[in-house]
A and B are shown apart, each in its own frame.
Chain A
Amino acid sequence: MSDNLNQQPLITLKNIRKMYYTDQIETLALKDINLEINKGEFISIMGPSGCGKSTLLNMLGLLDRPSTGTIEFEGKTLDKLSDKALAPIRNEKLGFVFQTFHLIPDLRVVDNVALPLLYRPMSNKERRERALNALKIVGLDARVNHFPTQLSGGQQQRVAIARAIVGEPPVILADEPTGNLDSHMGNEIMSILFDLNENRGTTIVMVTHDREQADQTQRTVRVFDGQLVH
């Protein structure tokens, strides 16, 4: 942390609270979270199930608005930004691997992977080439024209990872990216992430239950009952 003192953090969470309201119950999923993510870091988030890891990742990935508190991205406060202003940030700066993949069932694997590129100005040919390349990286170049339902859980996860990296975003947020993979494939994915982090300077925030994986990262953030524990 010390070597980042005079560097501006990439993402800053200040006093973040997140309440969920259901029919009867209110859940305070995050309580007064303060967290800084610096450029080029590889951070792991650990904690028991239901403690708020995914909620926290949603905040960092600008996928949800906090109930109170502010989020800064590259020094800019975001809570007053419109969706229109957030869209290019999500598109260019952030790659997200969801815990439950979220592939579009109507689209073939290659089109699922190319999705973030769809919202960038480029030719269809280039989109396809880049998507095929990303699929090659995750070792799925033989399943290009399948539909998501025709893939195993692990294969779907790799499609989701390919989609997160296809646009070469400076930040990747991954929610248990190896949760459905065997240790061999898991290691493969980890080495892809490490490669992106080391050779391209990609900032990575990863939720994991795997202590070994967490130990390999530069910093581990522990969450318990919606709070950071030190």
Chain B
Amino acid sequence: MLSHYFKMALVVLWRRKFMAFVNIFGIVITLLTLIVGVAALNSGLNPKKAARNTEQYLVIDEMCFTGERNTRNGGVGHQFYTRHLQPMQTPDKISFSTSAHSAVVFQQGQKLNFAIRRTDATYWEIMQHQLLEGRWYDQAELENGQFVAVINESLREQYFAGESPLNQSLRINGQTFNVIGVVEDEPETSRTSFSDIWVPLTTAPSANYQKEWIGDGQVLVWIEDASKRDLMARETQDLASQFEYVPDPTRYEQALFLAKTPLDNVSNKFLGENCTNLSHASTFISVIAAITLVFMLLPAINMINLNVSRILERAPEIGLRKAAGASNRLLVGQFLVETLVVTTIGGVVAFVIAPWVLAFMNNTLIRYGQLSMSLGVFMAGLGLILVFGLLSGVYPAWRMSKLAPANALRGGHRHA
């Protein structure tokens, strides 16, 4: 019986190739959407490389000054950092760095575009970039404004043709730096750790940044004892109330910001909730779940539609099998096997294609991307598709099997 069902399923697929193709295509797209979506989310929330430790490491990269009539928001300014953040008691380490800017590097008359980030020395202690050769710059070099640079492996590859760049010079935006270290590539999606070139903050062409209250900076906080994060939250609240905007104290009375975990960071950014000291992680997760659901639902609805019409078309077959003595259970079993076969084929195709899609995204769409497939998500997606398949392929067949054979033979239109 099972072998007949199996054969029947393949025969039906083969004889209705277009239908089968659309159906399998829908399954593959659904699965790929899910896999890529979750991989992106996962790499955003759990960066594997430099920014990996999510328990002890917090980020402040967006803040908001509010007054009675004014609000202003942006990244952390260096002046605000030195006055208010740096003196905080709870952090074991605290660092200021700029976001990644675009930098022009000339090589044999050719203009290359890279990302540059200016940081303090603590940055390297909090981030955990993998050092491939050389070293990072230290506090003394920072204080002396030394023109030293750390570069990533891709830049070494492209600019120094794979040779050791140590003690070689690199001209960036009109300044000449001495390369002292090479680190592993960091994915572009990891906002705190990504760059091609890192140089000391003090090499900035002008000292204007030191006057900024709101700028493009990010502050990294390291708390050795993760349980002290509550303390940290309280301290930032106190800080908000003691805040004084020196240039014009009446203009802004409050500084709102949140020392965020990577999850909070992604969540609040996604929801546009920057002027807050609240975490919106749970909202974010529900919104993402809803979006994922919608994205999965589109191909799923298509599949359900297709399945239902496929079953309706086969009403005479159901009627005939009933007349020949098939019980409802056996009929449902037949359509169950068909659904399983289609889902399995779709699953296998998606499983084979997914690594290629992720590789494409890693190599082409996201610089130094590190999206990877989660087997658990794949299985969950397959399970979900199976549920849709059962709802759309087996449920109508079951309903139809309840009809009198004569009705089903006529095409399944109901008669009293």
A positions within 8 Å CB-CB of B: 19-21, 58, 61, 63-65, 67, 83-84, 87-88, 90-92, 96, 98, 102, 104-107, 115-116, 118-120, 124, 163
Residue of B nearest to A59 (CB): B406
From B316, B325, B415, name the one whose CB has the most chain A CB atoms within 10 angstroms. Answer: B325
Q: Say yes or no for B111: interface residue by CB 8 A criterion.
A: no
A58 contacts B406, C-beta separation under 8 Å: yes
A61 contacts B4, C-beta separation under 8 Å: no
A61 contacts B327, C-beta separation under 8 Å: no
Instruction: Kindly state the separation between the CA atoms of A104 and B405 in the bound complex, as whole angstroms.
Output: 14
Closest chain-A Cβ to B325's Cβ sits at a distance in Å of 2
Instruction: Kindly state the separation between the CA atoms of A19 and B415 in the bound complex, as whole angstroms.
Output: 9
Closest chain-A Cβ to B166's Cβ sits at a distance in Å of 71
Residue of A nearest to B409 (CB): A102
B324 contacts A116, C-beta separation under 8 Å: yes
The interface residues of chain B lying within 8 Å CB-to-CB of A118 are: 1, 4, 324, 326
Interface size of B by CB at 8 A reads: 30
Q: Say yes or no for B375: interface residue by CB 8 A criterion.
A: no
A119 contacts B11, C-beta separation under 8 Å: no
Closest chain-B Cβ to A125's Cβ sits at a distance in Å of 12
B317 contacts A104, C-beta separation under 8 Å: yes
A87 contacts B319, C-beta separation under 8 Å: no
Q: Is the interface of B mostly helix, strand, loop or mixed?
A: helix
Instruction: Kindly state the separation between the CA atoms of A45 and B409 in the bound complex, as whole angstroms.
Output: 22
| Contacts A63-B404, A102-B319; A83 near B328 (Cβ below 8 A) | yes
Which B residues, 283 to 330, have Cβ-Cβ distances below 8 Å to chain A? Answer: 316-317, 319-330
Instruction: Kindly state the separation between the CA atoms of A124 and B5 in the bound complex, as whole angstroms.
Output: 13
Q: Which one, A98, A102, A119, A124, contacts B325 given CB within 8 A? A: A119
Q: Is the interface of A mostly helix, strand, loop or mixed?
A: mixed
The interface residues of chain B lying within 8 Å CB-to-CB of A21 are: 415-416
The interface residues of chain B lying within 8 Å CB-to-CB of A19 are: 416
Instruction: Kindly state the separation between the CA atoms of A19 and B404 in the bound complex, as whole angstroms.
Output: 14
A87 contacts B327, C-beta separation under 8 Å: yes
Residue of B nearest to A90 (CB): B325
Residue of A nearest to B317 (CB): A104
Q: Which one, A58, A67, A98, A115, contacts B321 given CB within 8 A? A: A115
Q: Say yes or no for B407: interface residue by CB 8 A criterion.
A: yes
Closest chain-B Cβ to A172's Cβ sits at a distance in Å of 13
Q: Say yes or no for B3: interface residue by CB 8 A criterion.
A: yes
Residue of A nearest to B3 (CB): A124
Instruction: Kindly state the separation between the CA atoms of A64 and B402 in the bound complex, as whole angstroms.
Output: 11
Residue of A nearest to B405 (CB): A63
B328 contacts A107, C-beta separation under 8 Å: no
The interface residues of chain B lying within 8 Å CB-to-CB of A83 are: 322, 327-328, 401-402
Q: Say yes or no for B69: interface residue by CB 8 A criterion.
A: no
Closest chain-A Cβ to B335's Cβ sits at a distance in Å of 13
| Contacts A20-B415, A84-B328, A90-B325; A115 near B404 (Cβ below 8 A) | no
The interface residues of chain A lying within 8 Å CB-to-CB of B319 are: 63, 102
From A58, A61, A119, A120, name the one whose CB has the most chain B CB atoms within 10 angstroms. Answer: A119
Instruction: Kindly state the separation between the CA atoms of A96 and B324 in the bound complex, as whole angstroms.
Output: 8
Q: Say yes or no for B348: interface residue by CB 8 A criterion.
A: no
Instruction: Please provide the 8 A-B residue pairs with the shortest distance between their CB atoms, ordered closest to farther.
Output: A91-B325, A64-B406, A87-B327, A63-B406, A116-B324, A63-B405, A119-B325, A64-B404
A116 contacts B325, C-beta separation under 8 Å: yes
Residue of B nearest to A89 (CB): B325
The interface residues of chain A lying within 8 Å CB-to-CB of B326 are: 87, 91, 118-119
The interface residues of chain A lying within 8 Å CB-to-CB of B1 are: 118
